[in-house]
Amino acid sequence: MDMPDHGGHGGHGDAPPMCAMNMALNWSTDNVCVLFDFWRVTSTLSLVLTCAAVFALGYGYELSRARVRAWELADAGLARADTPLVGGGRRRRWTRSVLYAALVGYSYALMLIFMTYNGFLMLAVVAGAAVGHYAFSTDAAGNVRGANCH
């Protein structure tokens, strides 16, 4: 039995293939979506470029954590030195909360990339975070920041 034409809607062959949704470790390079529907791994070149971008995201996360921590330490010194100004403490708390929220969102985005269960992307996240931790884990006083969730 033939299916009728649906009034010029076009065939379903026009739509891009669906993103691969794997629930087990895989090394696929075919139609892996990364965070967004438009960020797809479809070839070896796109895999290499995506791994480089994911590495940079992992590295950038560690850089961001280090910068926020440095700001917090500097701000803690300023807060003690300041005379109590109306709203000054509240502004600092809001700023710290916004920075914290940004880091949590960033860490969850990396977690979502990891949860593609694509071995190449998982290694890129871990490698970027490791190199970033090596580069930024020691503060100006020589204290080494430990590993934690976010």
Task: Kindly list the averaged pLDDT for each block of 10 residues, start to end, along the chain of length 150.
Answer: 51 71 88 91 93 98 93 75 58 91 97 95 97 85 60
Whether pTM > 0.85 for this model: the answer is no
pLDDT given at position 80: 58
pLDDT given at position 73: 83
In 3-state terms, the chain is what percent helix, strand and coil (to 5)? 55, 10, 35
Residue 6, C-beta contacts closer than 8 angstroms, at least 6 positions apart:
none
pLDDT given at position 14: 66
The 10s digit of each residue's pLDDT in 112-128 is 999 999 999 999 999 99
pLDDT given at position 20: 83
Q: Of 132, 136, 95, which is closest to residue 110 (Cα–Cα)?
A: 132
What does the alpha-carbon distance between residue 1 and residue 14 come to, in Å, rounded to a whole number? 23
pLDDT given at position 25: 94
pLDDT given at position 29: 84
